[in-house]
Amino acid sequence: MEMNGSTTRGTAPPTAHAGRRVLRFNAALTLALLLLIAVLGNVLAARHLGQRVDLSADQLNAISDATRRVVDRVEDRLTVRLFANQTVSDGRLALRAARVRAQLDEILRLRPEVFDFQTLDPSRSSEARRQAREARLQPDRAGRSGLGQTGEEEVWLGLMLGYRGRTEVISTPEPWRFEVQVASAMHALLSDRKIGIGWIGEPFEVAPDSETAALERWESTFRVIRNALSRRARLAQVPGLATGNSVPDDVDVIFMVRPGPMHEREVYAIDQFVQRGGRLVVCLDDPDYNLAYPRADVAPEEFEGSPLAALLRSWGIRVAAKHVWDDTWRTDRVTLTSVGGQLRQGVLSDPLVITVPPEGLATELPPTRGLPGVAFSWAHPLFPEESTPTPAGVTRTDLAWSSESAYVTDVSPRLTMDPRELRVLRAALRNGTGRRHTLAAVFNGLFPSPWAGKEAPAPLDPLGLGRAADEPAPTSAVTPSQVVVFGDADWLRDPLPEGTFVQAGGGVLAVNLVDWLTLDEDLIGLRSRAPRLRPLRDFVGEQEAALGLFEEDVFPTEAERIEASRKGDLARRRARRQQWLTMLAPAALALLVLALFGALWNGLARRRAEPGGDAR
Amino acid sequence: MSVQPRPFAGVLPFARRELRSAFESPVAYVAIGLFVLVLPALFFFLGYPVGRTPLPGLWEGGQASLIVLFHWLPLLLALVVPALSMGAWAEERRAGTEELLLTYPVRTGAVVLGKFLATWILTMLMVGLAVLSAAVTVGFLGDLDWNTVSAGLVGAAWLCAGYASIALFLSAVSSEQLVAFLLGALVLGLLWALPLLVRVLPGGAAGALEAASPTTHFLGSAARGVLDLSDLVYFVLLTALGLVANTLAVERRRWR
């Protein structure tokens, strides 16, 4: 041993050499065994220990209750066929497959008795390749990166689910949304039939030969929402209501989007659809007041006297012709103004385009739960329940509303072209008292029909065929239903290509509404599984508001420009100071805690070291 | 007949001894203070510009989340933990106190465990102060998910344990402090970098390397608010491996 320094390596007796060798060998063996145990333990843990707890508020890393409910509804054997390569050379694609597989295993473990799981490798089996091709799966192509391997490899990853003779294919499984993909596919397999959606009012897109086609840059279409709804349901226009047709039985929900003048018979058909239990979504948007809609053909007074307004009034629904002006939840948008024949671009903080945040949405109702926000443009407020009471048997729940400091105002379309006028109006409005205005509401219950006890209105009869003899009598308040009313239709529109409009959450809200109204809340639960936005405090915005800076004026005078610039600089300086204070204060506090701890520790150590102190 | 000491006798006194020597010198305070300033600064201003998807800093990203800060932890700890533990054995050897230490009537494992506990507590104090000071800032600025922060801190404790045991082992096999630090930083840095090699490696090796990296086990779950039993098993085994290796290295010297 070297401990006393008298024995050296060269003079050690043979037994000591042997002892050291044995010791080294034992140490190396122990380490190797431990390493092996560690590797095996990790492999086993990764494969068989699926227990985990998701403590995060968003709960995005655990199987959701919605998925569990969907899986619980499976009654027969559900075949899950995974098309994947057994070995993948590309590390990135291999990890993607591993993550998808891990999540799939987690879902299959929920009810292993109902799943019939198969793994097929199309890169090795021609039969598997044929099945993958039949399911319209396409392989990814990746370069081989292994030693001695060159060229490309086909990497397959796809899923086919089969249930009661029907199949659903997930052609591109993505680890970040795989659970939603699988649960949605299962949900589609478990549904008896596709939901039917009827569309009344605005066409999905502008006809190419119409005079407004030239304005298409400014006037967005409904293509995006049409595509979103079409993926979820059968979507079709509902024609012929004015001529006596009723809404087809396979229509579950009607979207009435910015309806124009309607014949009384058309309105009657919609009333009877609701009386049968059909669900109705009405998006009223007075075109006379909408800049993006120069084809105004309905005056406010005309609308108030229309059959549709009368029907809605009988259900306790009234939408004001004025617009909601909300400085708190206003939206920044790009404006293009013609000055001397040239377009000038500016940024306008528009209080008529309101991006309603989650606190302006009913979180207790599934359609709006989890939405990051919805943008409304030139929205009309719904009359409050106090002034327009709902009839007996009908209840009202507000779905979306403005901030507490919003106003209603008459504005002219010209206004958006002149930010200074906007500012004058804003100043004038500030002198009044702001309040919360309802932008959308849900009505539930037994809706009374205005035609109860009367004869159904006569249909349009251009051919003079006369009324059908076997026409049923109007029904009223027989089957409970739901009507959702919005004081705006722009939330459904596509984003404009020029970026002059900001859309948020509209598409998801529309699809959520369909699922909710047709009692498919599971899908809403799945869709709402998105990380919640957690924005930071906007110090600059707060300081700008405190200094009275509201928007960037596109026509400032020199004095205004200098003043705005000075205030802007001041706001930014103050905001920066606030930022530094927010960052440094906790760090300083942590250092102070450390210093106090050090002082205490060393003080105690010194006391212990003093004669008579605790020397332990 | 010689009396065998109890397996864990001496662990706490040795841990206290190590902590006392750490807190009685200014080095620990400077290291912790720097960490408390540097980690949040990187999080606030720089973001995490490593890997395929660089993450923005707090002000640029505008979201009340500590995920970027947690991304920095494996890398920074790969440098800081060896710095804190490099003297644990190397300094004992330099000062000639190792022989004395090993003559105490306690098991070698207890000494190793005591040193490990002290390093772990020191590291956790450093990480806790840095993470909590940043969390207070972010909590004031927005709606911070404190549950995720708690899970992240638990995961950081596991990570620190794994790192500390490996760094201590490397200190035990090194003749000098500098060598111990360089070796520790190199090994922990390699472990941290394993997931970066995923793109250039073939599938099987990529999966194995990713599973072997503490970065994956920390960032893949605890940093996102998930406590996974398989991650706990990984860190327990990693820590145990480091501690046993450390014990064997010291034992080897004791009988040399």
How far is A147 from chain B, CA to nearest CA, in Å? 8
**Beta carbons of B202 and A595 less than 8 Å apart:** no
Contact A52 B20 (CB under 8 A): no
Domain boundary among A535, A551, A584: A535
Residues in chain A closer than 8 A to B256 (CB atoms): 1-2, 20
CA–CA gap between residue A492 and residue A486 (Å, rounded): 11
For chain B, say whether A88 makes contact (Cβ under 8 Å). yes
Count of structural domains, chain A: 3
Preferred mutation among A58, A536, A584 to probe B, highest tally of B CBs within 10 A: A536
Chain B partners within 8 Å of A49 (Cβ): 229-230, 233
Evaluate whether residue A550 is within a structural domain: yes
Question: For B62, which of A41, A536, A595 is closest by C-beta distance?
Answer: A536
Q: For A31, which of B37, B198, B245 is closest by C-beta distance?
A: B245
How many domains, in total, are found in chain B? 1
Question: Is residue B202 a part of any domain in this protein?
Answer: yes
Q: Which residues of B touch A50 (CB under 8 A)?
A: 229-230
Tell whether A445 is covered by a domain: yes
**A65/chain B closest Cα distance in angstroms:** 17
pLDDT at A616 over 60: no
Q: Is the same domain home to A94 and A184? A: yes
Does residue B116 surpass a pLDDT of 80?
yes
User: Which range of residues forms the domain containing residue A608?
Assistant: 538-616
Query: In this predicted model, what pLDDT tens digit does every residue of A573-595 receive, in sequence order?
Result: 999 999 899 999 999 999 999 99
- Return the top range by mean pLDDT from A196-200, A566-570, B61-65, B176-180: A196-200
Q: Quick one: A134 and A215 in the same domain?
A: no
| B17 falls within a domain | yes
SS (H, E, C) B101-156: HHCCCCCHHHHHHHHHHHHHHHHHHHHHHHHHHHHHHHHHHCCCCHHHHHHHHHHH
Residue A296 and residue A385 share a domain: yes
Are residue A100 and residue A115 in the same domain, yes or no?
A: yes
Q: Cα A440 to chain center, whole Å?
A: 18
Compare CB distances from B244 to A30, A90, A95 and report the shortest one's residue. A30
* B241 contact residues in A (CB cutoff 8 A): 34-35, 38
Same domain, A201 and A186: no
Domain around B106: 11-254
Which of A487-501, A509-523, B183-197: highest mean pLDDT?
B183-197
Q: What is the pLDDT at residue A500?
A: 43
pLDDT of residue A299: 56
Q: Kindly list the distances between the CA atom of residue A459 and the CA atoms of A46, A242, A248, A268, B5, in Å, as whole numbers in the listed order.
A: 69, 6, 17, 10, 101
Dump pLDDT digits (tens) for B196-225: 877 666 666 777 777 788 898 898 889 989
Cα–Cα nearest to A312, from A421, A402, A447, A135: A447
- For residues A555 and A530, membership in a common domain is answered with no
Residue B3 domain-assigned (yes or no):
no
Q: Is residue A396 part of a domain?
A: yes
Helices B108-141 and B146-172 cross at an angle (nearest 10°) of 150
> Is residue A606 domain-resident?
yes
CA angle B37, B41, B46 (to 5 degrees): 155
pLDDT of residue A291: 40
| Nearest chain A CA: its distance from B64 CA (Å) | 5
Nearest CA in chain A to B129: A590
Contact A51, A136 (CB under 8 A): no
Least trusted range by pLDDT, from A6-10, A237-241, A376-380, A383-387: A6-10
Residue B116 and residue A524: Cα distance in Å, rounded?
50
pLDDT at A313 > cutoff 70: yes
Provide the total of helices (H) and of strands (E) in chain B, helices listed first. 12, 1
Rounded to a whole number, what is the largest CA-CA distance in chain A?
A: 126
Phi, psi dihedrals of residue A409, rounded to the nearest 5°: -150, 155
Higher per-residue pLDDT: A13 or A260: A260
Q: For residue B1, is it within any domain? A: no
Q: What is the pLDDT of residues B20-57, one digit of tens each?
A: 888 888 888 988 999 999 999 999 988 888 876 678 88
Chain A residues with CB-CB distance to B65 below 8 A: 534
Which two three-digit tokens encode residue A389? 């009471």
Q: Where does A73-199 have alpha helices with state H?
A: 91-108, 126-134, 178-190
- C-alpha closest to that of A125 among A113, A133, A117: A133
Judgement on whether residues A163 and A90 belong to the same structural domain of the protein: yes
Q: Please check whether residue A608 touches B, CB under 8 A.
A: no
Say what percent of chain B tops pLDDT 70: 92
C-beta atoms of A46 and B145 within 8 A: no
The pLDDT-based confidence of A325 (bands split at 50, 70, 90) is: confident
pLDDT by residue (tens digit) across A133-188? Answer: 988 888 887 765 444 455 677 889 999 999 988 888 888 888 777 888 888 889 88
Q: Answer yes or no: is A134 within a domain.
A: yes
Query: Measured between CB atoms, which of B36, B64, B199 is closest to A92?
Result: B199
Tell me which chain B residue has its CA closest to the CA of residue A536. Answer: B142
pLDDT of residue A556: 61
Asked whether residue A203 carries a pLDDT value surpassing 90, the answer given is: no
Choose the final residue of a domain: A535, A558, A584: A535
Final residue of a structural domain among A145, A172, A190: A190
Among A2, A4, A9, A42, the strongest candidate for a mutation testing the B interface, having the largest count of B CBs within 10 A, is A42
Chosen from B226, B235, B250 to mutate, greatest number of chain A CBs within 10 A: B226
**A320-331: average pLDDT:** 84
A160 plus A215 within the same structural domain: no
pLDDT, one tens digit per residue, over A75-96 is 999 999 999 988 777 767 777 8
Partners of residue A441 on adjacent β-strands: A398, A485
| Side chain identity, residue B76 | L
Which of A583, A591, A602, A616 has the most B C-beta neighbours within 10 Å, making it the best mutation to test the interface with B? A583
Quick one: closest CA in A to B102, which residue? A3
Helix (H) or strand (E) holding A354: strand A342-356
Specify the pLDDT at position A499: 45
Distance from CA of B185 to the nearest CA of A (A): 21
Nearest CA in chain B to A144: B202
Smallest CA–CA distance, residue B179 to chain A, in Å, is 22
- Flag whether A467 is in a domain: no
Kindly tell me if the per-residue pLDDT of A302 is higher than 80.
no
What are the angstrom distances between the C-alpha of A606 and each of A593, A601, A610, B20? 20, 9, 6, 12
- Nearest-CB residue to A98 (from B130, B202, B207): B207
Instruction: Look over chain B and give the mean of its residue pLDDT values, rounded to a whole number.
Output: 85
Q: Is residue A40 part of a domain?
A: no
Indicate the burial class of A414 (C-beta count within 10 angstroms; 0-12, 13-18, 19 or more).
Answer: exposed
Q: Do B202 and A42 touch (CB under 8 A)?
A: no
**pLDDT of A430:** 65
A482 in the same domain as A442? yes
**Domain match, A107 and A215 both:** no
If you measure CA to CA, which chain B residue comes closest to A537? B141
Distance (Å) from the alpha carbon of A606 to chain B's nearest alpha carbon? 10
Residue A508 and residue A545 in one domain: no
Q: ipTM more than 0.85?
A: no
Q: Do residue A598 and residue B29 have CB atoms under 8 angstroms apart? A: yes
Distance CA A164, CA A183 (A): 17
Does A534 reach chain B within 8 Å, measured CB to CB?
yes
Q: How far is CA A26 from CA A3, A21, A33, B243, B248, in A?
A: 21, 8, 10, 16, 9
Instruction: Count other C-beta atoms under 10 Å from residue B64's C-beta.
Output: 21
Whether A535 contacts chain B with CB within 8 A: yes
Quick check: is A526 in a domain? yes
Asked if the structure places residue B242 within a domain, the reply is yes
CB contact under 8 A, B142 and A87: no
Please judge whether B206 and A42 are an interchain contact, meaning their C-beta atoms are less than 8 angstroms apart.
no
